[in-house]
Every structure is written in structure tokens, then in C-alpha cells.
């Protein structure tokens, strides 16, 4: 690694996630090469970044990855497609490049199962949009070597992300498992008529959403117990968690259809509406990130000691 040279990232797949990775790396001074089979790739890249030396595009995957420090793959969530893409990447990428997939569900072990060499393949699962959301879940597969884990963590840290290394490959990884456990209960509560979609969102946003943007879940729990600590809290909490029967979303398509209608009616539909909401989300996210950076006595980033 020559630290005098800017890093190079190869973005494989120019969808929403891929283009956001591209903006993140570009903002950090990296060379960006974007590849995608879509016929309008050139227009897309040039309308976003202009025509410059630091962001280029090519329809040829091999050309895109051959000088990459980090290959970030954002293709379709289908295993055979991933395996084919990674076969091509392995053939053309430098021997020390980190080969990462943004997949939220396909593990490095699954991709590796179809390939001879796979020690540099790893999951680097971002939150949408990766240019704003700090977390990257880094999941090595059963063939991934340790130096790839170390290097992936270092590269994501250079991009100002917060990589957390996860050593067990479970469905949903960690963040989505947690989200989905809560979402299942949220859908149940709305489907049961306890609250409506907007009421539930107001509850989330004005309580633990706000809380968990500032401190984590276990830290909040430690403080919930008062100065006498988490021991005190757990005495009660253990019982309460045990007592509650959490709900599950209905399997009735009519009930599901009603929920979808309720969400659409609460937040609207269509391209223009979507763009307006995304702009608002990103403006608020940026504001919160800036506020947290200023308010914290320490950097908000946390790098796994496993790494």
C-alpha cells in the first residue's frame, strides 16, 4: 500500500447503493471506477460526477477492478449472479485487493462455496445510503483470511465508516436481525389496531430512535438502572421481557395489503414524492451526524477490537 497514491475503489453495480459508495469514496479523495452492464452508465456517471480523472466508468468488469484496493460489489441478490461476478473479479483484481460484497443476505461462505480461491472475499454490508450511514457490517466467510478482515476494516475506516466485524454468519447478520425483531412487533401492533402507522413512527422517533442515535442499547440500559447500575434494572427487566408475548405479522394477504395501503397513504407514492422524502431524510441525517460529532467528547466511531 502506497499511502502517497490515492486509493482506488471499483464499484461493481451502479444502483442506489453502488452510486452512494462511489460518492463516499470520491468525497474522500479516492479514485473511483464504476462498472455496470446498463447502457446508460456513461450518462449516469457523468451527470453525477461530471467528466473528470477521479471518477471513470466502463462496461468491462475486468477493466474496472484491475487497479482496485477495494472492490465493492452491489449486484443483484442472487447467489449464482454473485458467484459469476466474483469469478470475474478474482481473475482480474490485484492479489492484495479486498473483494467485498454489499449483500445483506448472501454470505461470503456461500459465494466462496462455488469458487476455488476465496480468501479475499468478504461481506461489507452498509446501511442505505452508505455515504451517510456509518455502519459497515464486516463478515468474513469460512475461507476468508485474517489479513483480508484487517485490510477491509482499515479501508472502511479510511472512508470514515464504522466497521464492525461479525464472526458468525447468521440470517440478517446483526443489524437487520435486530431491526426485524422490532419490526415484526411493530407490524403486529399496527395490524392489531393498537396504533396506526404514523403514531408508531412518532413513538419510535421520539423515544428510542432519539436515544439510540446518541448512545447504544446496552449503554442506555446501564443508565436506566440508575447509579445502582444495570444489576438493579435486570432484576425487573428479566421478568418483564419474559412476561411479554411478542406478536408476529399476520400471514393473511388481506391484512398485509391493508398495511401496505396504510403506509402508502401515510407517506405517499411515486418518484417525486420518493425524492422529496429521501432529500428530507438525508438532510436530517446529515444534521444529526454533525450534531453528534460536535457534542461527543470522543470520536463517535468505534472500531472492533477483533479487527
Closer CB to a copy of itself, 115 or 203, in the complex: 203
Closer CB to a copy of itself, 1 or 178, in the complex: 178
Closer CB to a copy of itself, 115 or 233, in the complex: 233
Where is 71: in which H helix or E strand? Answer: strand 70-73
Closer CB to a copy of itself, 113 or 222, in the complex: 222
- Closest distance to a copy of itself from the beta carbon of 108 (Å): 16
β strands within 102-226, DSSP E: 121-126, 135-140, 162-165
Strand partners of residue 72: 11, 100
- Closest distance to a copy of itself from the beta carbon of 31 (Å): 26
Where is 291: in which H helix or E strand? Answer: helix 271-295
Cα(64)–Cα(97) distance, integer angstroms: 13
Q: Are 65 and 89 in contact (CB under 8 A)?
A: yes
- Please give the backbone phi and psi of residue 41, each rounded to the nearest 5 degrees, phi first: -60, -45
Closer CB to a copy of itself, 27 or 232, in the complex: 232
- Closest distance to a copy of itself from the beta carbon of 260 (Å): 6
- Closest distance to a copy of itself from the beta carbon of 178 (Å): 5
- Closest distance to a copy of itself from the beta carbon of 297 (Å): 7
The neighbour count for residue 73, using CB atoms within 10 Å, is 27
- Closest distance to a copy of itself from the beta carbon of 19 (Å): 13
The neighbour count for residue 90, using CB atoms within 10 Å, is 18
Closer CB to a copy of itself, 5 or 306, in the complex: 306
- From the number of C-beta atoms within 10 Å of its C-beta (0-12, 13-18, 19+), residue 131 rates as buried
Q: Reduced to 3 states, what is the DSSP secondary structure of residue 138? A: strand
Amino acid at each position: 500500500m502506497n499511502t502517497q497514491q490515492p486509493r482506488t475503489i471499483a464499484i461493481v453495480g451502479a444502483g442506489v447503493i453502488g452510486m452512494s459508495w462511489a460518492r463516499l469514496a470520491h468525497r474522500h479523495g479516492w479514485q473511483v471506477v464504476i462498472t455496470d452492464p446498463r447502457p446508460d452508465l456513461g450518462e449516469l456517471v457523468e451527470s453525477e460526477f461530471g467528466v473528470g480523472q477521479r471518477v471513470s466508468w466502463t462496461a468491462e468488469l475486468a477493466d474496472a477492478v484491475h487497479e482496485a484496493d477495494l472492490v465493492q460489489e452491489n449486484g443483484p441478490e442472487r447467489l449464482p449472479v454473485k458467484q459469476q461476478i466474483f469469478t470475474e473479479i478474482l481473475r482480474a483484481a490485484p492479489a492484495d485487493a479486498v473483494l467485498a460484497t454489499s449483500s445483506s443476505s448472501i454470505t461470503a461462505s456461500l459465494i466462496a462455496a462455488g469458487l476455488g480461491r476465496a480468501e479475499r472475499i468478504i461481506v461489507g454490508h452498509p446501511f442505505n445510503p452508505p455515504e451517510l450511514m456509518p455502519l459497515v457490517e464486516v463478515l468474513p466467510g469460512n475461507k476468508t483470511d485474517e489479513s483480508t478482515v484487517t485490510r477491509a476494516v482499515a479501508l472502511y475506516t479510511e472512508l470514515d465508516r464504522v466497521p464492525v466485524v461479525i464472526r458468525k454468519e447468521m440470517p440478517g447478520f446483526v443489524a437487520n436481525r435486530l431491526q426485524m425483531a422490532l419490526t415484526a412487533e411493530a407490524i403486529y401492533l399496527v395490524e392489531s389496531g393498537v396504533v396506526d402507522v404514523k403514531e408508531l413512527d412518532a413513538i419510535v422517533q421520539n423515544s428510542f430512535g432519539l436515544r439510540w442515535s446518541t448512545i447504544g442499547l446496552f449503554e442506555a440500559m446501564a443508565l436506566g438502572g440508575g447509579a445502582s447500575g444495570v444489576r438493579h434494572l435486570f432484576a425487573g427487566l428479566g421478568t418483564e421481557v419474559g412476561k411479554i408475548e411478542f406478536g408476529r405479522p399476520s400471514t393473511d394477504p388481506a391484512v398485509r395489503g391493508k398495511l401496505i395501503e396504510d403506509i402508502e397513504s401515510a407517506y405517499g407514492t411515486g418518484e417525486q414524492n420518493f425524492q422529496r422524502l429521501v432529500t428530507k431524510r438525508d438532510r436530517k441525517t446529515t444534521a444529526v451526524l454533525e450534531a453528534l460529532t460536535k457534542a461527543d467528547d470522543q470520536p463517535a466511531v468505534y472500531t472492533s477490537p477483533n479487527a
